[in-house]
Amino acid sequence: MENYSLPQGSLFLGLDCSTQSLKATILDSNLVIVATEFVHFDSELPHYKTKDGVYRDPVINGRIVSPTMMWVEALDLMLEKLSKKVDFAKIASISGSAQQHGSVYWKIGSSMVLSSLDPGKRLKDQLSQSFPLEESPIWMDCSTTEQCRKIEEAVGGASELYRLTGSRAHERYVGPQVRKIYETRPEVYHNTERVSLISSFMGSLFIGAYACIDETDGAGMNLMDIKKREWSNLALNATAPSLEEKLGKLAPAFAVSGIISPYFVERFNFNKNCLVIQWSGDNPNSLAGLALNAGDLAISLGTSDTVFGLIDDPEPCLESHVFPNPVDTNGYMVMLVYKNGSLTREDIRNCYAEESWEVFNNYLQQTPPLNEGKLGFYYKEHEILPPLPAGFHRYALENFRGESMDGVTVQEVQEFDAPFEVRALIEGQLLSMRAHAERVGMVIPPKRLIATGGASSNECILNAIASVFGCDVHTVPRPDSASLGAALRAAHGWTCHETSSFVPVRFLYEDKLEKTSLSSKISVNAGNPALSSKYAMLMRKRLEIEDHLVKQFGRVST
């Protein structure tokens, strides 16, 4: 293995523009965290009046958006806060992460504004007129079912679109979102000179020009040929006219996006040679930050829950999403996505556990594993996996002792006692993850299972993961692995640039992983194998009920 050391004294900044907050992690040249920072959208930017960082349209069913300017102002605030902790002149490179699939529409003429920002003013005072659509559709939106259907039809069906782009049509993906804008707001479409992902949008602010979309996050659009890593004419034509010119070029996630714009040099004293590395999606950045290897599995418990791993040659499967590996020139990441993650856990906590994680955890500890056969499906929002509309469904398995399913009957029920509601929620979420991970070919138990995201700080939830998956659960020092991964990718892109070649990311840490902030540790030991087999039995029963629910309530679409 070659040893690549980063220059002593240099720093690497990673940002993560997620659903509820903007987070930052700064790594030093030994890949150790030296600073972190946080801007919470609802509470620190209350004038946008978001709830959980988003607006849920009360009129248009499934329309969920966020104000584009909120992200701009969050960056102003983040840099003001960080400048008190860190000398920006030492930052050699910056990269970033953003919630995937959200899109930003730049008005004709905005590139001029972007390239001539006045360092005497905040970004928010200069960009407010740049967006013909002031509210960006985000990953939670599910208002484009009709467009999904038309796009799939135009390319020859859902399986064909999956084969071509790595996913079937999904409401939250940018292709269907753009098609909807073209159909319903043609004036906005024609007044748009660039469509950015949130990741490339944030990168654009830093370079003072339109940044390319990176190939990994670009795969979350239903527009890119996943094998060739270039825009697919078939998919573009199925979406909207003259779209390619509005999307600009694609670039690998480790490429240099540009040099930092003079605005940041003059206003915040960044080094004028500071590189900006392509921004990418939050899940790909987490994959980087967790130093995932083949055979490992990550469970991210953020606003969304995701399960992901690395794969050489993905099998076509309509349930999963495939993206190019963000830190390699070959291979893919495969992922499952749940919309009902933390916000649904909060909802159940608020309804049944006195709005307290402590009470929630007490309930988890009081109730037995397998929950006496009490199963729940909790969809506060329309779910992605399985594709089901909002609603709660509860079942009691009568005569279930965990030994066999002989003689067990399934009874639909209205409600459980509060402690059982809490366990039914957590076990249900984890059983679904295990079942679908197995269905798409991920190996369970994995070599290493790493939990991340806000809820991974909850040890009772980690215990439940260990029991359901039958393996140890690892965590990294901080649950915000997306901004950590972005900081690592900043260092990675910097190294590739410096050596004028592609350097495998592991060369940055392989000989010293334990000493870096990327090293994960076992937080909870494996549950007992007999219990994990009982969960396997429960999982199969739950999957049967789930398939039945999907047949009964139909696919609103994924």
CA–CA dist 181, 179 (Å, integer): 5
Give, in order, the Cα–Cα distances in Å from 274 to each of 201, 257, 265.
Answer: 18, 11, 9
Site string for ligand XUL, 91-110 (x = CB under 6 A): --------xxx---------
Q: Check binding of 18 to ligand ADP (CB under 6 A).
A: yes
Q: Check binding of 50 to ligand XUL (CB under 6 A).
A: no
The answer to whether 72 and 91 have CB atoms below 8 angstroms apart is: no
Selected from 454, 470, 485, 493, the binder of ligand ADP by CB under 6 A is 454
The answer to whether 400 and 354 have CB atoms below 8 angstroms apart is: no
Residue count at the site for ligand ADP (CB under 6 A)? 15
Q: Which does 377 bind (CB under 5 to 8 A by kind): ligand XUL, ligand ADP, none?
A: none
Q: Considering the complex, what minimum distance in angstroms separates the CB of residue 23 from ligand ADP?
A: 7
CA–CA dist 472, 38 (Å, integer): 30
Pull the structure tokens for residue 233.
């004419």
Q: Check binding of 278 to ligand XUL (CB under 6 A).
A: no
CA–CA dist 153, 169 (Å, integer): 10
Q: Which does 454 bind (CB under 5 to 8 A by kind): ligand ADP, ligand XUL, none?
A: ligand ADP
At 473, is the secondary structure helix, strand, or coil?
strand
| Stretch touching ligand ADP by CB under 6 A, among 15-23, 121-129, 305-313, 494-502 | 15-23
CA angle, 197 then 203 then 208, to 5°: 120
Q: Which does 453 bind (CB under 5 to 8 A by kind): ligand XUL, ligand ADP, none?
A: ligand ADP
CA–CA dist 118, 184 (Å, integer): 35
Site string for ligand ADP, 370-389 (x = CB under 6 A): --------------------
Q: Considering the complex, what minimum distance in angstroms separates the CB of residue 222 from ligand XUL?
A: 12
Q: Check binding of 306 to ligand XUL (CB under 6 A).
A: yes
Pull the structure tokens for residue 80.
């003001």
CA–CA dist 479, 32 (Å, integer): 15
Q: Considering the complex, what minimum distance in angstroms separates the CB of residue 517 from ligand XUL?
A: 21
Q: Hey, which residues between 309 and 368 contact ligand XUL (CB under 6 A)?
A: 321, 337
The answer to whether 286 and 304 have CB atoms below 8 angstroms apart is: no
- Residue 110 or 342: which CB sits closer to ligand ADP? 342
Q: In which element (H, E) is residue 231 found? A: strand 230-231
Q: Considering the complex, what minimum distance in angstroms separates the CB of residue 1 from ligand ADP?
A: 32
Q: Which does 283 bind (CB under 5 to 8 A by kind): ligand XUL, ligand ADP, none?
A: ligand XUL
Q: Considering the complex, what minimum distance in angstroms separates the CB of residue 337 from ligand ADP?
A: 12
Which residue's CB atom is positioned nearest to ligand ADP? Answer: 454
Pull the structure tokens for residue 275.
């590189």
Give, in order, the Cα–Cα distances in Å from 337 to each of 232, 301, 307, 319.
Answer: 24, 10, 7, 9
The answer to whether 29 and 10 have CB atoms below 8 angstroms apart is: yes
Non-local CB neighbours of 228 within 8 Å, separated by 6+ positions: none
Give residues in contact with ligand XUL (CB under 6 A): 19, 99-101, 139, 172, 220, 281-283, 302-304, 306, 321, 337
Give residues in contact with ligand ADP (CB under 6 A): 18-21, 302-303, 342, 345-346, 357, 453-455, 457-458
